[in-house]
Structure 1
Amino acid sequence: MKNRDEELRVVKGMSNYFGELIIPVLEIIRDEYFVRYRTDEVTGEFIFEKKPGLKNKTKIKLDPREEDIITLAEIQKRLNGKRAFIDFFRFNDNEYDNKVFKGMELSFKLSRDYAYYKHRIYGIAEYENLIPVISIKNGFKVSAHELEKMINDLREGNSSIAIRITDNYLEDYAELFEESLTRSDYLMLDIRSQHVDSKFIELEEFQELETDAVKILLNSPRLRSHKNGEYENLLFTSKIDNKVAIIYKDYGFQGFGDFGGLKDDLPVDSGGNGKGAALGLTFVKEENAFYSVVNHDTNMGVGGYKYVRSEILKRLDILDKEDNCVAIKRIKDMQGKYGNWATWNNLTLTRYIHQQAKSSISL
């Protein structure tokens, strides 16, 4: 998950389902700040101003400072004592189609200032339940010597360390991983949006790697290129192949990770017109697939979710046999208002976590 509003709400709402068998990975793309307000230097009282178009005066916010950052502290609160991987997110210019991004100031700074990136990673040690992730991918490769130094530095303040690496760089660091990682560490092989069947050579190399670290296979099976209106209606969609959730066991890996039915995308300043196909994706663990409900009338926009809701509720024999799904309960409780794109992203992710938890937690 990226630390956008809806994903953070899911972290808080679903923290009871996290544990040793389900550990969220949080890609930090923005900071949260303690809000300060302007005060009178003599009295210490707040200073108010009246903004155009408002009847009442409001307190004047001060510009945030580095020392006002509370990002990790707030994440730890939401986790309610559970563990999470923290990946301070960097990206290169060609990685996300060169769109105009919104609210990405932190990621831009992390991507351009390596010293600051290290500073933020080292700061994770202040939080007992958070596991630092060193991410290696195109545009962000480091020397083996530098990586070894980072691992050693992080080990001083963290009980576990994670390395997230794309498959094209695995061989470059194989010897280091075998010698430097311990059984309390995690090694994540990220094949990005590539289909797992096309990466059998790389998976075999990962399998043969002799490391004590926990091996995790990462994948992003929902392609960014697929628009909502391209999904099938009232079918298990073929556009999201969740095979990684099964095949990781065949290679002897200890776990897998994905985006929980969401796209691996970034917030953009789209200037949308409110139109679009309303899409509801409901994961069914027994099928290892997403049941897709789409209102293809793009003129309805979010109004199309009334149809999506009604069709989901007609199929509870498939989608909620045990009558215990957190997401389905929220859908049932919708009265008159049926949510927007963000609401249904939240529901998709909530449902996915709940379904994956079924095999490890008594619900």
Structure 2
Amino acid sequence: LIMEDWLRAEALKRGYQMVYTPHIANKDLWNVSGHTGFYRQNMFGEIEVEKADYMLKPMNCPCHILIYKGELRSYKQLPMRLAELGTVYRYERSGVLHGLMRVRGFTQDDAHIFCTPEQIESEIEGCLDFALKVFEVFGFKQYKMEVSTWDPEKPADYVGEAADWERATNALVSVLERRGTPYKLCKGEAAFYGPKIDVKLIDALGRPWQLSTVQFDFNLPKRFEMEYVGSDGARHRPLMVHRALYGSIERFFGILIEHYAGNFPLWLAPVQAKILTLTDEQIAPAEELKKALEAAGLRVELDSRPEKIGHKIREATLEKTPYMVVLGPKDVAAGTLAVRRRDGKQFDGVSREDLIRKLTEEAASKATASGWQ
């Protein structure tokens, strides 16, 4: 939820509309989109409901197109940016399943942008800004860009007009060059339906991961007969861009676990602070402190077991809890707290107000390392 909530808030600030679409759709929809013809081996079987066949969705795109087609759009309504954290299902053979990295059901941070030709470059720019913001916030500093385009010598392998491919590819390259971003041009490696930019992050172990994508689609707008009314009063076909940032919540989270070796930044840590009591006499004030921290929006646990404090500290350290708050008789008498970081550094005589202020400020800043020195 932490990752999802942040992404939703950021998407809304960037002009996206958050939508929710069903987990299943009538097979007719997948026939129109072409998934039953080109992607059937990756889809689960039909589900019969009242003599009609439904299928689990492997992608969100056709559902977003139906939202677009809910009314005839005007050029004044474009660009239209639809985003969803939607669960999709893909039939993967058991031999290729791998932890969180490759699963059969996952949450895709999917967005589709419908725009006019004049809006292409600004939308690509916005997608790249968003992708790099994600990397920055989650602490990934290294990445590389790849532009995959068609092979003009094999036009039969692709859909769309040559002019569309050239215009879209030129727009992708133009944005990267204007930003001064190095990229690799991968001729002939585009999907059959459009060119794309892949943003591959490099984790702490130096491994590349393909996550964020900005992908043109010349296929679905044609298949679904999508239109908008232009400034000339005539009907035109919108351009469609697929945009993913995390790729999938599950895979991105798996990469985060390995990148930080479980030592999550405070804002991402499932438990941000753990209160440890020395004796039963500190349970009541510890519960009050827990309520105060939770009221400030912090995720807190209380360990009031009748165990030695050293054992509690070791357990919390192994759990990689960012902060431990040790509460003993002297702390209660003095009205202060002993705060211990997971790396072992300790701060004595901390007031409740200072603790709340420092933790909330660090969490709000999305800092990747403790600023409490």
| Category of TM-score, reference length = shorter chain | under 0.3
TM-score by length of 2: 0.26
TM-score by length of 1: 0.26
